A and B are shown apart, each in its own frame.
Chain A
Amino acid sequence: MPTVSVKRDLLFHALGRTYTDEEFDELCFEFGLELDEITSEKDIISREQGDTKAEGASDVILYKIDVPANRYDLLCLEGLVRGLQVFKQKMEAPRYRRVSPASSEPQRLVITEETTAVRPHAVAAVLRNITFTQERYDSFIELQEKLHQNVCRKRTLVAIGTHDLDTISGPFTYTAKPPGDIRFKPLNQAKEYTAQELMSLYKTDSHLRHYLHIIEDEAVYPVIYDSNGIVLSMPPIINGDHSKISLNTKNVFIECTATDLTKAKIVLDMMVTMFCEYCEEPFTVEEAEVVYPDGRTCQYPELAYRKETLSADFINRKVGISESTEHIAQLLTKMCLRSEVMSDGEQIEVEIPPTRSDVIHACDIMEDAAMAYGFNNIPRTTPRTYTIANQLPLNKLSELLRQDLAAAGFTEALTFALCSQEDIADKLLKNISETRACRISNPKTAEFQVARTTLLSGLLKTVAANRKMPLPLRLFEISDVVLKDESKDVGARNNRRLCAVYYNKSPGFEVIHGLMDRVMQLLEIKPGQGNGYHIQAADDSTFFPGRCAEIFACGKSIGRLGVLHPDVINRFELTMPCSALDIDIEHFL
């Protein structure tokens, strides 16, 4: 969930009133936001870097507000204020208009064929005669960062570049070139670098190094030039220094390059709708023309208003309320979804503005109606759905066995399903290839290399962590291991196992054998060949030679028991003899 940090007093000024922290928290809750933290720049610095560093930092109160991940229109002060003011019916949602330049051709961005290989999409727009203040400027920069981190998926899907239009001249060319052929002075640097040099320069940049991988291994890098060959930006890494915007910038050229065109359009719409408020003619955005390699042209930003028609009955039925059509239309209008009751008095025509890209289905509109109504005002009802409960037979069996194993004097352990390869192989004197283990490709540490193929290592690790407890230790676990299995759609399956260990000064094979007999008794299997159970000597590297037996029930091998090999004991950092039982209980379903 993205967090937006806004100055409290600035927010209250824009909202036209003040709130207590509790009141504002309540308003957020109702609107689906969360007032996460009340802090200040000084507090933040002092917490992260110590009090001395914080000296002189601003102690203006900041609200940190958690915003739902799909509400890109609430990622800056401007958007939050607009959303809340419309919600509180203090203002009507503005209408955003795309306009043609008054006395000239629109700015053009020409996309060349070369971009196809690396970053094929681009859209653009112009904010004409905008007035920045320090706060507006900061918010403008901050919104780009928030969009980059969220909808742009850390610039992989979309990257935003903003430029002082008066320092450059169109038409602009969006192309891709070998890194050695790109050379410019990047933002806030003193000299020119080639793209290659930049990539190594930014290797150590705490911020930019996270984006290098997006194009690093490509043969060509994306780049935007103006008509004089000045580099506007090398997306998605860095803008040129030449066209950088400042507090005094009057006309802003915004370009978004992308691997996902839909997202690029959304991002551009967000940038312009949030800040066109500060243009000479508020809520208008000057169009730019994008020319595709095939000659097609498109005008951006789209600023598309979509209309959906739905019935009041649909909303009443889904939410569980019975409101009039008019009231529902009012509720939706409060959520920036301008709605009108249609002539039949039942249907509602809902207009979805370009700021609400999250509304993609009637169910999204229904949710907004429910939010505006207030979730906590909806009567709580009991569904009349009549069903008979059933337990999963495997879980039912596991639950019953757990109870009786505890009654037999064994204590239940709860160990992790993920572990290191060493845990299930080397430490048990097994070769990993014979384990049928599923491997994880991206573990952060060795603890998560594989899914366990046995419960034994987890139990032995539990014993090792509890060596100070009085002996004997009697432990069990009934849980799933994971094995590769080609016959399953995903190529693997779980297997429910019962594992128990007895750890004492003497191996206690008879104890673990007795437990096995007891389990068979509980499962109504009598000793004997054929339909009964029996054990026979087996070789297993985990166990002490001559002290391991395979367990057969109803003619099938279901597991093993025996005294663990001294090397296994050592590898789990244990000192006493130990016997163990490991069976597959799925045979008893």
Chain B
Amino acid sequence: ISMADTGLVETLLRRVEKVDGGLDSQDVATSLGVDHQAIVGAVKSLLALGDVISAEQRSSKHWELTGEGCEIAEQGSHEARVVSSIPEEGMPQSQLMKLAFGKVGFSKAMSNKWIRLDKGHEGGPRIFKTVEHLEDLVRDKLLLVQKGQASQLEEKEKNELKKRKLLSEVTVKSYWITKGSCFSTTITKQETELTPEMIASGSWKEKKFKPYNFEALGVAPDCGHLHPLMKVRTQFRQIFLEMGFTEMPTNNFIESSFWNFDSLFQPQQHPARDQHDTFFLSDPAQAHEFPQDYLERVRKVHSEGGFGSQGYKYDWKIEEAQKNILRTHTTAVSARMLYKLAQQEKFTPVKYFSIDRVFRNETLDATHLAEFHQIEGVVADYGLTLGDLMGILHQFFNKLGITKLRFKPAYNPYTEPSMEVFSYHEGLKKWVEVGNSGMFRPEMLLPMGLPEGVTVIAWGLSLERPTMIKYGINNIRELVGHKVNLQMVYDSPVCRLDS
């Protein structure tokens, strides 16, 4: 409360103290003869102190004089002024009409019969007054309104004055002020914040504190933020770790066609190996080291068959296998890991996972980029079944909050059977594809040297798609790459996939 207002505030408080019910701020202003806005200011300062007073806003209709009305209240009505300006000997009409109030006042005074007109007077029409004393009712009524006593007038009278543009009806906002639960006529200065001195001296006990505005937002903490896609990656890693899966070393974006395709029994003429689908390298263009006997078994199974397979019966070329590419899937790493596993003296069951970048030389659109993250899970053990694959997928997707799954037969060169995983999307009210899965083909596993009875089940999905669904992003460029809006990163919530 500023010092200047203090007097008014205290006056207002004393007025409030005296009344039983409450009072209207407009009335206070009138009776104190101050501007209503000053009273409103005093009410607001008191409200900020807590429950000293309570004030309820109300609005009321109220009559006010117009500019012309004010003039009349001061100087009399036009007709009265006409009468008082005419001397005993009368006045030429033309002279009267020159006065500001002449025209209006003349006709009103005529109809009131306060004057008469002698048209035949020598020297032109002349006006004479017919009364000595008159009652200027219009002015009296306006004076009543000016004093705030408009209620003494009849509705009809007020409307008539309104028609003459002497009165207007305005809406007035005011406060109905009553005592609050902590009403007092003296005001203590309020503290804004607790200080160390107050704590030390205990003075806080005596002080009143200015209330906080809990409607306002707090100050944003000065902090860093993790990227939403990486937050989702962390959650997927967590899920795999909870399920006992070991992370594969996928930090090799450049891969030979051999590990990316040939080792997976993907034929050399397969469209995925086309220039239009895969990024090939010009430098370093070729890989130069392969496990030779394994490479020979791969060549054989492609070109001649074996391991129970007819093979593809084509001319397998080492030159195709040597071509370096940007890996098109992390399954290239799974192949390396399974080959490594097969070289162990004794087979041990494994569960592997990875989440890392893969690259496709594809046409780009709102949901496809040249690089994205692939999530992959692999289990190798004796006697695994298709039912096991579906069971493990069920558990995996359960952890993502996806409980309704169904499986569609599909084709993939390195898995047989292959299954597309669909989940029921409650929002879209339809089944949507959420991943791919299958059992690795014997033509892939047996040349590696894995034992005959070992089955390897695997599945994969992209990291971007569930993230886009989770965060409601429609264009992948709003999520990944340098064009993302950092505000999106700043504002992204924590990631709980199952809620």
Contact = CB atoms under 8 A, between A and B. Distances in A.
B385 A317 contact: yes
A462 B230 contact: no
Interface stretch (B11-19, B143-151, B437-445): B437-445
Nearest to B391: A380
A554 to B, nearest CB: 22
Contacts of B351: 385, 387, 389
B326 A262 contact: no
Contacts of A414: 227, 229-230, 480-481, 484
Given A29-B408, A387-B244, A387-B246, A361 B287 contact: no
Contacts of A451: 253-254, 326
Contacts of A438: 254, 281, 283-284
A389 B251 contact: no
A492 B288 CA distance: 11
Contact of B324 (A71, A447, A490): A490
A411 B252 CA distance: 26
Contacts of A415: 481-482
Contact of B407 (A69, A375, A386, A496): A375
B153 to A, nearest CB: 62
Given A31-B409, A375-B386, A469-B487, A440 B224 contact: no
A387 B314 CA distance: 40
Contacts of A34: 408
Contacts of A474: 224
Interface in B361-392: 361, 369-371, 379, 381, 383-388, 390-392
Contact of B280 (A318, A360, A381, A441): A441
Interface in A440-471: 440-444, 447-448, 451, 458-459, 461-462, 464-466, 469
B386 A318 contact: yes
Interface in A328-377: 358, 360-364, 366-367, 370-371, 375-376
A32 B324 CA distance: 34
Nearest to A379: B387
A89 interface: no
A79 B52 CA distance: 89
Given A375-B407, A406-B225, A490 B255 contact: yes
A527 interface: no
A217 interface: no
A493 interface: yes
A467 B388 CA distance: 52
Contact of B409 (A371, A388, A412, A466): A371
B254 A382 contact: no
Contact of A412 (B227, B246, B480, B485): B227
A41 interface: no
B48 interface: no
B359 interface: yes
B234 interface: yes
A142 B290 CA distance: 43
Contacts of B315: 260
A367 B417 contact: yes
Interface stretch (B87-95, B200-208, B304-312): B304-312
Interface stretch (A49-57, A200-208, A235-243, A392-400): A392-400
A417 B371 contact: yes
Contacts of B227: 411-414
Contacts of B271: 69, 153
B224 A439 contact: no
Given A383-B391, A389-B241, A474-B224, A418 B284 contact: no
Given A31-B409, A482-B254, A157 B241 contact: no
A386 B349 contact: yes
A587 to B, nearest CB: 15
B290 A489 contact: yes
Per DSSP, chain B at the interface is mixed
A54 B366 CA distance: 28
A486 B12 CA distance: 90
Given A380-B387, A383-B384, A395-B247, A491 B287 contact: yes
A480 interface: yes
Chain B interface size, as a band, is: 35 or more
B390 A380 contact: yes
Contacts of A317: 383, 385
A409 interface: yes
A211 to B, nearest CB: 15
Contact of A382 (B288, B357, B395, B484): B395
B55 interface: no
B236 interface: no
Contacts of A473: 486
B155 interface: no
A321 B417 CA distance: 15
A177 interface: no
Contacts of A523: none
Interface in B400-418: 406-411, 413, 416-418
B37 to A, nearest CB: 38
A537 interface: no
A416 interface: yes
B253 A382 contact: no
B443 A361 contact: yes
Given A383-B388, A389-B246, A412-B230, A440 B482 contact: no
B249 interface: yes
Given A361-B310, A406-B224, 11 more contacts: A318-B455, A319-B386, A361-B416, A375-B408, A409-B224, A416-B369, A438-B283, A462-B484, A489-B290, A490-B252, A491-B254
Interface of B: 222-227, 229-230, 234, 237, 240-249, 251-256, 269, 271, 275, 279-290, 305, 308-315, 324, 326, 349-351, 357, 359, 361, 369-371, 379, 381, 383-388, 390-392, 394-395, 406-411, 413, 416-419, 439, 441-443, 455, 457, 480-487, 489-490
7 contacts: A361-B308, A361-B441, A367-B418, A371-B409, A391-B246, A442-B275, A465-B484
